[in-house]
């Protein structure tokens, strides 16, 4: 299993607000290239984001499904991208001093060809991608949080 973390300069509710907006998914998830639809009840358990994975015109259309959610605290996803497979992705939000949030992201392959890779190799592949995903998430959250806190006329 791969685990990365990052402190984001915004409170957990601001971080969760971005995670709860399925239309922003392709803006922070590395590899997701296009959002086709988001279930109206996202991020309820069982709800889906319908997305494309990979560069156009070689992208694959698939879904990400919510497996568990604790609003403001955690989100567990099954991210699919056949023929590559599916991964369990966990995001945990931990309140940090000064109104910041420690975000922990885990990932491990649960189905498909990538499952035969040793855990250490899976982690080696996932860690840079997930580190970049958290950097993108931080940018989205801090941009939205800063604008909400200091609206311009």
Annotate 92-118 with three-state secondary structure.
EEEEEHHHEEEEEEEEEEEECHHHHCC
- Split into its structural domains, the chain has a count of 1
- What CATH number has the domain bearing residue 32? 3.30.530.20
User: Within 10 A of 70 (CB to CB), how many other CB atoms are there?
Assistant: 11
Residue 69's Cβ-side half-sphere holds a number of Cα atoms within 13 Å equal to: 18
> Do 74 and 20 contact (CB within 8 A), yes or no?
no
Instruction: Tell me which long-range contacts 113-121 makes (C-beta under 8 A, separation of at least 24).
Output: 113/83, 113/84, 113/85, 114/84, 114/85, 114/87, 115/85, 119/1
pLDDT (tens digit, 9 = 90+) per residue, 70-102?
999 999 999 987 767 899 999 999 999 899 999
**DSSP code of residue 144:** H
CA distances from 121 to 76, 88, 99, 110, 117 (A): 22, 16, 36, 14, 6
Residue 60 has pLDDT above 80, yes or no: yes
Specify the pLDDT at position 153. 59
Q: Is residue 19 pLDDT above 80, yes or no?
A: yes
pLDDT at 147: 73
Domain range for 60 is 2-149
């Amino acid at each position: 299993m791969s685990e990365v973390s990052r402190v984001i300069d915004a409170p957990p509710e601001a971080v969760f607000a971005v995670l709860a907006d399925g239309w922003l998914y392709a803006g922070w998830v590395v590899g997701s290239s296009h959002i086709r639809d988001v279930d109206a009840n996202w991020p309820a358990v069982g709800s889906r984001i319908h997305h494309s994975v990979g560069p156009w015109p070689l992208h694959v259309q698939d879904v990400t499904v919510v497996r568990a959610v604790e609003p403001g605290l955690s989100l567990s996803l099954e991210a699919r991208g056949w023929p590559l497979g599916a991964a369990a992705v966990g995001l945990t939000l931990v309140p940090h001093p000064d109104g910041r949030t420690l975000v922990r992201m885990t990932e491990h392959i649960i189905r498909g060809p990538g499952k035969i890779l040793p855990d250490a190799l899976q982690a080696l592949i996932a860690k840079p991608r997930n580190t970049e995903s958290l950097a993108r998430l931080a940018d989205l959250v801090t941009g939205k949080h800063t604008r909400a806190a200091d609206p311009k006329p």
